[in-house]
Amino acid sequence: MAILTEAQVLDALRGVTDPDQGKDIVALGMISGLVVKGGNVGFSIEVDPKRGPALEPLRQAAERAVDALAGVTSVTAVLTAHRPAPTLSGNRPQGQGHSHDHGGHGHSHGAPAAKPAPAGKAGVPGVGAIIAVASGKGGVGKSTTSVNLALALAANGQRVGLLDADIYGPSMPRMMGIAGKPESPDGKVLKPMEKYGIKVMSMGFLVAEDTPMIWRGPMVMSAIQQMLRDVAWGELDVLVVDMPPGTGDAQLTMAQNVPLAGAVIVSTPQDIALLDARKGLNMFRRVDVPVLGIIENMSYFCCPNCGHRSDIFSHGGARAEADKLGVDFLGEMPLDIIIRETSDGGTPIVVEKPDSEHAKVYRGIAATVWQKISSGGSRRTAPSITID
């Protein structure tokens, strides 16, 4: 099979015309950040901020033009509006981008300027509450916590969805034991995958497991927006979002574009992990997202043979940090091989061993989280959206 090239993508985009300027978007120098990796294509379309809201059809037309090429498996186009788009008198060479400061100002998908969304930011239709499960650094068991928290909420009676927002390292297909690709009956909206009574969406369903996502920030932000809003989630009480580690574009996208009911912070007990967890917690506070509490993962290890307990990563650090920062301590989970085996095997412990002590702890944490988001005004109901 022939290898897809940037030249082929640009040729396809030459068939897309800017309705106001009457020229194709490549000739106008509007394409930047073009990335072609295998069959995955991503690029930005630079527009004048004043025209941003009206050019969503142009973005969609560009995606369709590229998607029609042989060998394309996914396309992500994002409108960028950091500065006015160049005109014919000030073209850049075709296909070349320019560098500009992403800083704390992300690019918005189909919207003009990237600035904090107002308090009335639109929710996801049918979804009662959205919670983010986050960590300041990787390797602390955040995804394991996310999947078991989602399953525990479902076991407690809630209607639950699970969104894998870790674009670079999606893990939900393996942890949930789901194979295949989501369907799109109308070619616009994806049906989420389902298993164990919850609905799931992940970039891992759309690309091969060993395919690296070599994407810039705007493409990541656009992909998260699409997985939130272009998925038929149906009626859900809560959508659990497994965030990537850190405090970057994905976290900012979620905080600025949807009314998060709260964030759960996952950390291990040692000082270096707690330092990063503190950064993550403070990031959510700065963007006015309530922090529901901290979970201490890998809290201790009990030898399965002799029962001796070892505090491999220290112990109690997350509880002490929660007290110091004035947030709730939600619970602690041990470092246990059965949690790892069930997660790797696609049968998380909450469903594989529902009567185990570990599953009971997850259900207890889920009950606390649900109580927090369903009372005190923190749970936000998504408005209805009518499409003419």
pLDDT at residue number 114: 29
Do 137 and 338 touch, CB atoms closer than 8 A?
Answer: no
Q: State pTM to two decimals.
A: 0.65
Token code pair at residue 15: 């068939």
Task: Report the run of H or E that residue 34 belongs to, with start and end.
Answer: strand 31-37
pLDDT at residue number 228: 87
β-pairing verdict for 160-164 and 127-134: unpaired
Q: How far apart are CA 152 and CA 362, in angstroms?
A: 6
pLDDT at residue number 288: 82
Domains assigned to the chain = 6-90 (3.30.300.130), 127-373 (3.40.50.300)
Q: pLDDT (tens digit, 0 to 9) for every residue of the chain, 388 residues total?
A: 568 898 999 999 999 999 989 999 999 999 987 888 778 888 878 887 677 668 888 988 999 999 999 888 888 777 765 443 333 333 333 333 333 333 333 333 332 222 333 345 677 889 999 999 988 777 888 899 999 999 999 999 999 999 998 888 888 999 999 988 888 888 788 999 999 999 999 988 888 777 777 677 777 778 888 888 889 999 999 999 998 887 677 777 777 778 889 999 998 887 777 777 788 788 888 778 889 999 988 887 777 778 777 877 777 878 888 888 888 999 888 888 889 899 889 999 999 999 999 999 999 999 999 999 987 434 333 333 333 3
Nearest to 237 by CA among 370, 363, 129, 366: 129
Helix, strand, coil percent values for the chain (each to nearest 5): 35, 20, 50
* Residues whose CB falls within 8 Å of the CB of residue 342, separated by 6 or more in sequence, listed in order: 348, 349, 352, 353
Nearest to 293 by CA among 320, 324, 331: 331
Nearest to 76 by CA among 255, 217, 239, 232: 217
Do 299 and 357 touch, CB atoms closer than 8 A?
Answer: no
Do 94 and 225 touch, CB atoms closer than 8 A?
Answer: no
